[in-house]
Amino acid sequence: MAEGWGDWLRAWEDAKIAVEECRDAGEHVVSVSTVRAKGRASGLEVEWPDRVAVWTVRDGKIVRVVWFPTRAEALEAVALRG
């Protein structure tokens, strides 16, 4: 996972991930974050709000990450509501 993130981050001159919410769901964690970045080659600034993921954690290690289009869908996937 670190290698994949490293490749992605190298494409940007400046990339910041602001975690706005983390919610405990047993063996899962639901996170909502905003990504802001500036392209290394183009200089283009971009923002991706409401990046929602469900992280599965076992024995203190991340074993799976699934990205969702909405917070509601992520919460439903781990049987939480609102």
- List, in order, residues 6 or more apart from 59 with CB less than 8 Å away: none
Question: For the chain, which residues make up each domain, given as ranges?
Answer: 2-77
pTM for this prediction: 0.76
Q: Which residues are within 8 A (CB) of 61 and not within 5 positions of it... i.e. 6 or more apart?
A: none
pLDDT digits (tens, 9 = 90+) for 6-46: 887 888 898 898 999 999 998 999 999 999 999 999 999 99
pLDDT above 60 (res 82): no
Q: For residue 31, give the amino acid letter.
A: S
Look up the CATH number of domain 2-77. Answer: 3.10.450.50
Euclidean distance between CA atoms 33 and 37, whole angstroms: 13
